[in-house]
Every structure is written in C-alpha cells, then in structure tokens.
C-alpha cells in the first residue's frame, strides 16, 4: 500500500506480473475510486465544455463518452479526462486523481469567466455551474477478455453487455441503487467501469472478485496502460507537454473550433512522442536520456519491462528537430548507452473478436 494524493492505494495484491497477465488473459478488477468526478450543468454547459476542452464534442450524446485533453492558454495540458453526458444540460467529467483539486479550481475559474461573458460568445450561450462530486462516487473497473462473461453472471448488471466501446448507460445495480456503467478502459482490453455510491462499491468489488476477477493494484494498471501506449499525466502529458506533442492530435480539434489553448497550439512547433524498443536486456525508465548518434535528442517519459512482450520498451519525447532516419538510437541507462530501435505504438493491441 502507498499514499497517493491522500488515498491509501494498493500497488499489488499477489504480484504485478501475475496481475498483469490476469488482465491480458482473463479479467482483472481495479478499485479506482480515487479518480475525480466533476459535474458541469446549466443552459450553457455544452457550449462551455466545447470551449474548455480540445476534443470535438459533436459526437457526445446521452449514450456516448468522449476522451479529451484540457489545455492551458499556452497549449500545455491541465489534464486529460472523460466526458459523460448525463442530461440535456448536465455533464460529468472524470479526471485524474492527482489533478482533481487543480482541475476543479481551473474549471470553476473558467466557468466564472464564462458566466461573466468574458469568453467570446459566452455571454449569450447560457450560464454554467460546476460542482466537485468526487466524494459521492466509487469507481470499480473490470478489464480483460473475460469481463463480459463475468458481468453476464449478474442479471442486474447485464444491460452493460449491450454497450459499444466508449458508450455508457445508467442501471439499477441492486435494490434501487443506481450506477453509471461505461465501456472504455485504461488497459488495452475490453471492460467496464461502474460509478456508484462508495457503500455500494464495496459490495460490487466483492461480487466481481467472487465471480472470478483478479484484484489488481496500481503496478499492473501502469504496466497495462503502458503496453497499450496510453498517456499518463505527469509523464506523457503535463503543463509543459501539449496533447499535440503527445501524439493526441486526433483529440485536438484545431481548425474546427476555438478552445482554450487553440491559438497557441496553432503556432507552437510540436515535439514528437515515439515508441522505443530496447535491443538488449536493459530496462529504460522515466527521465533517462535518449541519444541518436551519441547526441541527446529526447527523454524517456515512461519505460519499463513489458510483461506481455518480454523485454524493455519506452515512450520518449523527442526534440522538435528529431529525424527518425537520422541514425541509430540508444537510451542512457545508468551512464551506459544501450542500443534501441524506433517502433510503432501501441506496443500491444488486443485482437478484436
């Protein structure tokens, strides 16, 4: 167990590698109740979010979820999050635990400016209200190829089985206890996320574990998201790393709308997040320098031994002038240059049935 932003969280239950393989081969269970939930509502809520977030929200409906970065005016990243539309004028943002307080303050500040008419057309677009509801939710994530089979064992959870990827619904979890259920995930596998009251979350976790899901900690969650090349805030995204730098341009609607940071992102020269595979047995770690022809050209943002793939990989942020064809790469591991190769991301991609 470790302290994480005031939460006591498990790094592992039986072992990181064992839990990692359980998710890839069967199903793993994560208590991620430390994540933040921020509600935005009001007649101007949708227009406000379209200005606050970089993604194209035109696909957002009462059934769909949308992933989006949230930027500062200079293009740096405040956080990356999920948006769920809960009603015609009500939306739920699911944010990273370590950013929750900062995010809530930032969103409330932008909402105040919006309500004062200080944001372009905001004066005629309707008012918004922002509320941090994080204490009202537990979040339990079930991930892996057996996730649907496990959910099918519970008649009250069965409506989740009809969900498409990045869709959500609300169901009666048991005895009138409501839950939001979505099908997104942070592991590269199929799965479900259940948002319910903290008291109900304890029972739900126990039900799913008894049905065959392996409890998993933060260690496996990190190695799984890493193999799927999903960004981790503070590593692939930060106030100094833009979503474009991080290879998330498909979630940045440049040229299609105006949003906080859009002007800066139009003029900034982007860096490039690249995938690196170690040629030998060395294991790259965050902050290790990346060299080309013996010269520094970037830094590892996340690196580790990839359990599914059997050797070391890294995501690395390279300089603006980096030439992929400019010569051999290496990673400086404990003062020694270890040979490496550029590879495509994601490192792991599940076979869709």
Claim to verify: residue 45 and residue 126 sit in the same structural domain: yes
Domain boundary among 135, 159, 180: 135
Three-class secondary structure of residue 4 per DSSP: strand
Q: Are 278 and 340 in contact (CB under 8 A)?
A: yes
Residues 189, 212 within the same domain: yes
Total structural domains within the chain: 3
Of residues 297, 313, 294, the one with CA closest to residue 305: 313
pLDDT tens-digit map of 237-262: 999 999 999 999 999 999 999 999 99
What confidence tier does 352 reach under pLDDT thresholds 50, 70, 90?
confident
Q: What's the gap between Cα 195 and its chain centre?
A: 16
- Strand-pairing partners, residue 82, are 67, 94
- Helical (H) or strand (E) element with 340: strand 336-343
Give residue 120's pLDDT: 62
* Domain ranges, residue 287: 271-343
> Which of these three, 135, 155, 187, is where a domain ends?
135
Output b/e per residue, 124-135; b: 16+ Cβ within 10 A. ebbebebebebe
Question: Is 263 inside a domain boundary?
Answer: no
Per-residue tokens: 96? 């990273």
**What's the confidence (pLDDT) of residue 72?**
98
Domain annotation covers residue 146: yes
Provide mean pLDDT across the span 22-40: 98
* Residue 256: partners with Cβ closer than 8 Å, 6 or more residues away: 56
- pLDDT over 70 for what percent of the chain? 98
DSSP assignment of 71-139: E-TTS-EEEEEEEEEEETTEEEEEE-GGGHHHHHHHHHHHHHHHHTT-SGGGGGS---EEEE-GGG-EE
In a domain, 169, yes or no: yes
pLDDT at 212 over 70: yes
126 conformational bin, left if phi > 0, alpha if psi -120 to 50, beta if neither: left
Q: d(Cα 277, Cα 342) in Å, to the nearest integer? A: 6
H-only helix segments in the chain: 16-25, 45-52, 100-115, 147-151, 198-210, 218-227, 262-267
What is the pLDDT, as a whole number, of residue 252?
Answer: 98
For 262-290, write each residue's pLDDT tens digit.
Answer: 999 999 999 999 999 999 999 999 999 99
139-194 residue pLDDT tens: 999 999 999 999 999 988 889 999 999 999 999 887 778 899 999 999 999 999 99
Structure token pair of residue 353: 């049935």
Does 129 map to a domain?
yes
- Is residue 7 in some structural domain? yes
Closest CA to 67 of 250, 272, 209: 250
Is position 174 within any domain? yes
pLDDT at 220: 98
What local confidence, expressed as pLDDT, does residue 319 receive? Answer: 96
Q: What is the CATH number of the domain that holds 196?
A: 3.30.1360.120
What pLDDT does residue 172 have?
Answer: 86
144 occurs within a structural domain: yes
pLDDT band of 118, cuts 50, 70, 90: confident
CATH of residue 66's domain is 3.30.70.1400
Of the candidates 253, 220, 195, 241, the one whose C-alpha atom is nearest the C-alpha of residue 50 is 253
């Amino acid at each position: 167990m470790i302290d994480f932003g005031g939460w006591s969280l498990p790094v592992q239950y039986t072992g990181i590698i064992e839990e990692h393989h359980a998710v890839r081969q069967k199903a793993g269970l994560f208590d991620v109740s430390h994540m933040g939930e921020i509600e935005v509502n009001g007649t101007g809520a949708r227009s406000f979010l379209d200005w606050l977030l970089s993604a194209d929200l035109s696909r957002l409906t009462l059934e769909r979820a949308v992933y989006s970065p949230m930027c500062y005016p200079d293009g740096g990243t405040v956080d990356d999050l999920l948006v769920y539309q809960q009603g015609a004028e009500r939306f739920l943002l699911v944010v990273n635990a370590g950013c929750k307080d900062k995010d809530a303050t930032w969103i409330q500040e932008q909402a105040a400016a919006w309500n004062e008419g200080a944001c372009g057309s905001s004066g005629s677009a309707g008012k918004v209200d922002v509320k941090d509801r994080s204490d009202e939710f537990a979040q339990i994530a079930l991930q892996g190829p057996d996730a649907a089979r496990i959910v099918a064992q519970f008649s009250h959870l069965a409506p989740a089985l009809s969900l498409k990827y990045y869709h959500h619904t609300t169901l009666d979890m048991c005895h009138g206890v409501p839950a939001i259920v979505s099908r997104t995930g942070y592991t590269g596998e199929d799965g479900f996320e259940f948002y319910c009251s903290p008291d109900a979350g304890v029972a739900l976790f126990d039900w799913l574990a008894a049905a065959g899901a392996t409890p998993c900690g933060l260690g496996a969650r990190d190695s799984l998201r890493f193999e799927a090349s999903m960004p981790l805030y503070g590593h692939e995204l930060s106030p100094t790393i833009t979503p474009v730098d991080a290879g998330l341009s498909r979630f940045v609607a440049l040229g299609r709308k105006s949003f906080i940071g859009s002007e800066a992102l139009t003029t900034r020269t982007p860096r490039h997040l690249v995938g690196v595979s170690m040629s030998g047995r060395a294991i790259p770690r965050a902050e290790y320098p990346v060299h080309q022809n013996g010269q520094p050209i970037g830094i590892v943002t996340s690196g580790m031994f990839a359990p599914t793939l059997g050797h070391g990989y890294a995501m690395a942020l390279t300089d603006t002038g980096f030439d992929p064809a400019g010569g051999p790469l290496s990673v400086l591991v404990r003062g020694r240059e270890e040979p490496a190769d550029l590879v495509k991301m994601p490192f792991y991609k599940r076979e869709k049935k």
